[in-house]
Amino acid sequence: MRVYCKSDIGLMRNSNQDYCKTGIFPDGSAWAVVCDGMGGANGGSTASSVAAETIASRLIEGYTANMDAEQIRSLMESAVDKANTAVYDIARNDASLYGMGTTVVCAVVSHSTAHIIHAGDSRAYLFDGSHLHQVTTDHSIVQELVDLGKITQEEARSHPNRNIITRALGIEPELCTDYNAENFQNCCQLIICTDGLSNYMTQESLLEYIRGSSGDELTDKLIESAKKLGGSDNITVAVVDGREA
The answer as to whether 145 is a domain residue is no
The answer as to whether 155 is a domain residue is no
189, 242 in Cβ contact below 8 A? yes
pLDDT band for 245, please (50, 70, 90 cuts).
low
The predicted-structure confidence for 3-17, as pLDDT tens digits, reads as follows 999 999 999 999 999
Counted domains in the chain: 1
The predicted-structure confidence for 163-217, as pLDDT tens digits, reads as follows 899 999 999 999 999 999 999 999 999 999 999 999 999 999 999 999 999 999 9
Radius of gyration from C-alpha coordinates of the chain:
17
The answer as to whether 151 is a domain residue is no
Q: What is the dihedral of CA 114, 117, 119, 125, to 10 degrees?
A: 0
Return the closest-CA partner of residue 131 out of 203, 198, 201, 192. 203
Q: List, in sequence order, the alpha helices (H) in the chain.
A: 40-62, 69-93, 141-147, 153-156, 195-198, 203-212, 215-228
Q: Which domain holds residue 119?
A: 2-139+165-241
- What are the two backbone dihedrals, phi and then psi, of residue 214, each rounded to the nearest 5 degrees? -155, 165
The answer as to whether 80 is a domain residue is yes
CA atoms within 13 A on the CB side of 42: 7
Q: Answer whether residue 40 shows pLDDT above 90.
A: no
Cα–Cα distance measured from residue 232 to residue 62, given in angstroms and rounded to the nearest whole number: 37
Cα–Cα distance measured from residue 158 to residue 155, given in angstroms and rounded to the nearest whole number: 6
Return the closest-CA partner of residue 179 out of 237, 109, 85, 107. 107
The predicted-structure confidence for 105-164, as pLDDT tens digits, reads as follows 999 999 999 999 999 999 999 999 999 999 999 999 998 988 888 888 878 777 888 789
pTM for this prediction: 0.95
Cα–Cα distance measured from residue 191 to residue 147, given in angstroms and rounded to the nearest whole number: 23
CA atoms within 13 A on the CB side of 173: 0
How far does CA 35 lie from the centroid of its chain? 6
Return the closest-CA partner of residue 18 out of 1, 35, 2. 35
- The CATH number of whichever domain residue 60 belongs to comes to 3.60.40.10
The answer for residues whose C-beta is within 8 angstroms of residue 158's C-beta and 6 or more apart is none
Amino acid 226 reads: A
The answer as to whether 117 is a domain residue is yes
Cα–Cα distance measured from residue 135 to residue 181, given in angstroms and rounded to the nearest whole number: 9
- What are the two backbone dihedrals, phi and then psi, of residue 56, each rounded to the nearest 5 degrees? -60, -45
E strand or H helix at 182: strand 178-183
The answer as to whether 146 is a domain residue is no
The answer for residues whose C-beta is within 8 angstroms of residue 114's C-beta and 6 or more apart is 107, 108, 126, 135, 180, 181, 182, 183, 184, 188, 190, 240
The answer as to whether 113 is a domain residue is yes
- Mean pLDDT across the chain: 95
